[in-house]
Structure 1
Amino acid sequence: MWDSKTGHQIGKALEGNTDTVFSLAISPEGTRLVSGDDDDTVTVWDVTTHDIVLGPLEGHSARVWAVRYSPLGDLIASGSRDHTVRLWNAESGECVGTLKHPHIVTGLSFAPSGKHVATTCSDGLVRIWDLKEMKPALEPLAGHIGSVWSVIYSEDGEMLASGGRDCTIRIWNAHTGTLVLGPLKGHTLPVRGICFSPDGQKLVSASDDRSVRAWDLSTGRYFWGPIYSKVCLWSVSMSPDGLRVVLGGSKGKLFVRDALSGELILPKGDDYKPKRGELLTTVYGVRALAWYPDGKRFATAGDDLLVKTWNITSPEHGFELQDPFVNHLDTITSIAISCDGSTLVSAATTVCVWKTDSGELAMPPIERHTETVTAVLLTPDNNLLITASRDRTVCFWNVHNGRFLRAIEHEKPVIALSLSPDGLTLASGSNGGAIRFWHVDSGSESSLASHVQIPDEANILSLSFHPDGSRILAASSDNAARIWCFPSGEEVLAVNHDRRVNCVQYSSDGLVFLTACDDNHVRICDAESGEVLRSLKHDRDIRAASFSPDGTRIASATQSGCIRIWETESGKLLLGKSMDNSDEESAKDQGKSTRREAGAHESVESFKLPATTQRRRPRRDHDHDARQSNVVRDSSRPGKTEPLAQRHTRGTRGMKSLFKRITSRNSSTNEGNKRSLSLRRMVSVPVARAKERLAGVVDPEGDEADTESNDEENDDENANQPPAPDQPTHRGDTSSTEDVSTCLCIPSKRK
């Protein structure tokens, strides 16, 4: 517990929970605190003694997302992932009622009268319950698309506010359930927390987009904000006098602001100013990315269930996010944009066709596929929509009316699609490594194109036709990108990677292609030799990347939601979060960074990465196999070859033993000799990785730990060890040591 005026911790921490705490609520008289926990229980504390006085209360079968006290303090309500709200006697801890929901309960709020409780659910509905009858008082309030994560009554009980995953806020009449204001738009990521001012005229919202905004409910516009923080904001509460707002977020951060102006009160200091392009993120994993034809905008979609369009010409933040397209209830796996930019198609378990100018659905969602849709395409004339699915079919549709035309059956789930530049031939890639070619106009398999099969039946993950239609590029689950001639089916090139390749694409001129990989790199490769020209480092594995229409830029997106724009020619980061996590890099470090970058480019040129590029030529004798870059000849067994990694491991064992002895001997003399050589440990790495290190390309796995460590130091630089149980902590930054999932204000006159 913290003093909201000084930022000092009050007394010892409330200890006793066995897992993460997701929600808190204070009793009306201010003497008790209830918590909802990840261990499926509810715990009640004495605010004065900091001791547990009730519980843990058991009954839920999944984590508890929300808890609240009734206005009279006689009931505690808890909402859980087990689809129920349980009502507990606040004195005895007895469960006195259960309200069943069809989906996960994400939030709840008691009406000031105590007669009703409002609940939010992952089905996108807000429900108002009559506590006397233990049944719904009104029909569910529909409007949000996707999960609703927060709900609260105004103090007079006349209004009800809700915020959700669709990034909007809605204000409802609490008695009739009619929408009176909204949707209020402005947040670019889900709204996590909302609170009314005591007079009910204002509302403050907190979001995953790291911003807080204060809304004037008479106009529907915010009168201060957005004000950004370094972290996602997950909860918000206003003091009883309406003068202060407290916010809690990730990385253990708490903020206290003036409710009238938004001015930062605690921690002391200036407001955080995001760097240009830093907010180019979805927080949730991105699985699909596509450019608009104008090259100024691109769309992303993924685990946040939203299709977002980013305009990267804004002078302020470097981008402008348009209103997201919201309809899907599952992870979006693929998107496609028509050649004229007027139509966007997104796929999850259903397929949605959108009008890009209005953001509205052009037709009802297509629901024919029985399993997840993995890929969507639009033909160049914008007449046909083609979809692929894990239900082992490829389907053709009229894109104007959604009429089903035909289906192509496959033996295994279909994962990837690509159209030839003339729009006449379709390539489909499926699990098991098969690539097949089809006539678009008839749906029949091409008799001119040879069937392609990946070795060892690795799954096909991505496909791309060369701009002149002469070759087909594929990414597969065996960590390789391969190129075949079309239509002969002859393999001409293979580029092996250390980790799975999720995405491949040719540039518009066909001179280079990109690979996006689980090793946190996007690589730009020469289309003829496979040589890696540039390697673009990311913080996490990359699921989606794409060249801009003119090929001069690359947009990439990671599993952590970070989006970056790169210059193709130089590999320079144009927009997005830099891999350097420090807020203020010293001039010395900047110089080192510049020299390292320059050295990397020179070394890449001389070392000609990667070592594992394979050119396919007609085989003449057994020695050809030994000349392939991923195998070496074993001189002890004539005519035999062995994998390079195996040979490398075997060959370094003796060196490791010798190195260990030298290190041990050296350490015994080090103590008295400051100038003695300090040896580093020897580590086996694949040849491609070794050459990348020599070229100055930083090791992703080694750097990831450093990056996380640096990020932690920068974001929590003032955090100290937890206080002694009996000692108050004087810490003006109001920092905790864990993520702050909820916060609230306690009336000062009571405590």
Structure 2
Amino acid sequence: MKTDFQFSNLLGTVYSRGNLLFTPDGTCLLSPVGNRVSVFDLVGSSSYTLPFAHRRNIARLALNPRGNLLLSVDEDGRAILTNLPRRIVLYHFSLRGQVTALAFAPSGRHFAVAIGRQIEVWHTPSTPDVAEGDLEFAPFVRHRTYTGHYDAVQSIEWSTDSRFFLTASKDLTARIWSVDQDERNAQTTLSGHRQRIVGAWFSQDQETIYTVSRDGALFVWQYMLRYDAPDDADPDDDQNLQWGIAERHFFMQNNAHVTCAGFHPESKLLVTGFSHGIFFIHELPAFAQVQNLSISQNDIDYVAINKTGEWLAFGASKLGQLLVWEWQSEGYVLKQQGHFDAINTITYSPDGQRIITAADDGKVKVWDVNSGFCVVTLTEHLSGVTACEFAKNSVLYTASLDGSIRAWDLRRYRNFRTFTAPSRLSFSSLAVDPSGEVVCAGSIDSFDIHIWSVQTGQLLDRLSGHEGPVSSLAFSPDGSALVSASWDRTVRVWNIFARTQTSEPLQLMADVLCVAFRPDSKQIAVTTLDGQLTFWNVSDAVQENGVDARRDVSGGRKMSDRRTAANVGGTKAFTTVKYSADGTCLLAGGNSKYICLYDVQSGVLLKKFTVSVNLSLDGTQEFLNSKLLTAAGPEGLIDDQGEASDLEDRRDTTLPGAQKGIGARRTRPEVRVPAVAFSPTGRAFCAASTEGLLIYSLDNTFQFDPFDLDITVTPSTTLDTLAQKDYLKALIMAFRLNECNLIRRVYEGTPVTMVALLVKELPSVYLGRLLRFVALQADESPHLEFNLVWIEALLTSHGRWMKDNRAGLEAELRSVEKAVRRIQAELARLADENIYRIEYLLAQPAENKEKASKLDFGDKELRNEVDEEMVGSGEGDDDGEWLGFVG
């Protein structure tokens, strides 16, 4: 089995904190998720996560006007410059301070960054004005530092000509700055607001400035005569002019305050989000309300507007909501929300296309693996969901602390059966018979195992024998045995379908945390509290192998720990284990930052995956920094809420004693892996972590891997070769450059008659790339028959070679198979919908058949004549449309 799994995607969380960002074309949305960046394709309905990760949570994102350079900055001021189309990290750089605002100039030559109350303007690396032959020895060169604000800067907006930029600060002022040194326009201060300014913007003609403060006041600033100017002053003389307040408007939202605001200069639309979850759209300068909508029960943290002004993106960090609203049609383009609480359990659907997550917030979410979006949220449970499992008939079962086991039909997304015990119990473990006839559950409140019939919903039996709470249950894949693990240091094997329900106890040395069956039903893996991982033969009830995993699972130390990472207790045991699809490997995770992959036969640690390097979480660092230790304890644990500048931030609204929700406890989140799951195909696995649902895959196909390149292989020479009708050479040159658009041009420029010959002569080293590209085109391109011709030629000419090298082409062949199945299903559905039209045409006299066979869609008169005949006979659509199916 291959073990080179790579991070592929991050699900379960869509927005955490920071600013949202639209790409220049307005089709993709960038969202910071912890210390990573997720990209949501709003047109293609897919999402992916960039492969790099910061050492702390991301605070600000910025994208240059061309859309190819992404600058992300974390809470410590460390920046990463990324080539967004290639997903490659270019530079790491430290801005030496907490960044509160970040923006690229429209020209793309500079970017401005706010560090506290200072603003720094930097040259963009590889700017368009760098002359040929000039060498750029430093990727980041500071242009100027601007000082003048007395408190933290909240936002930065550039003028359209990139000569000026406008800043808004907590010191109740907005200021205009000149990029180049200009004595007359060095600095202009706009003051008059009574609370901190949330945002300030230029109008499209740059003759007007709009500022919005936290108390809901909108000021319109214009260049007008000075108040102390003489009566005969010349209005064209700059000495007599200054920026002044022309109009004042107020939102009047009672006790709610403005939390975010955005302005679109082209359409003159102002979007404001408030603390009670309502946003407003106003048209300026008339301040006419266009629309308002309640989208959340909590603060709206950030709003972004795309280039055309049609889509509005909102982020609410408290509930992890991400929304994209099309205000003209009043509909959602995107509406996603992650789990509010920690994810407890995960499972793959039998076909491997869906992942089910369940969390302490009582919600069960269904995620699509290909698109990365949440398909549906099931909310019937009243408390935290602790276990979920699929039966072979694609029925999902979930166990909850509310005392119920629920069965879900995931085709209709409804709860069709609910199982409960005679007394109120909080169920913590679940097992389902593979046939789907029996469901079992264990509880930490009772030592018995409850068994229900799925058909009738009645409680069939209660298995007694354990002397402690039941922690884990598992049915054998062949349905012959049930295995239960308990805190009484035993694992019991039950034969519940026999006449006498006896159990075979397996004695261990510590409390049992988790148990898993191998796919062949002959072996179980057991993990215990003392860090031991043991393998047992089910039929003989003997131990076959064991692994001391304490050193493997031991992770980092918490900020409050007084011991080293090697001696910290509570992290030295696996809490979840899962076998791979072929049973050769075992995946294990626990309350640490590591996921371990073991070889079952030898017990060797094959690979160790680090879940997170985010220092904002406890347990990610091996050594603590002595500089952060103070007399009052670690600096990160000191509550500085009373030092906040705003009254609302200083006010303590927590409930003493509450550990969740609005409790008074101030605890840092800890990195842990409560659940892992292998894909049924064996090509991927997922892990539930503190930051979300991490997916690791062998099919991570996006990579920039040019090979066999020389100075003669360029896009222009490739297109010249295509123009000379040397199609094979042009395709090979395009694959060497690995440019998707270039490959598509050569692919579509190849005549159909040349496809078979080209594929036959193609070197085998390019077959995998061509297979992958053809499968992608079959999903995206409208050229149906053309794509099928390519697939047929590939399988005809190189089918034997693909069979011999199937191990290295599994992902590509699976993509082609999926594309062909989808085309087949769509064509079958289309034929079924038009079967009566076809039968009608076949039943027509010879004259009408000849007319129909000669029918051309360009001949409108003949088509109208046939339509009238079909309508008169009662066939066809209501509007007389004919789809062109003939015998």
Same fold (TM over 0.5): no
Q: Which interval holds the TM-score relative to the shorter structure?
A: 0.3 to 0.5
| TM-score between the two structures when normalised by the length of structure 2 | 0.37
| TM-score between the two structures when normalised by the length of structure 1 | 0.43
Compare relative contact order (CA 8 Å, sep 6+) and give the higher one, 1 or 2: 1
Which of structures 1 and 2 has the bigger CA Rg?
A: 2
- More helix per residue: 2
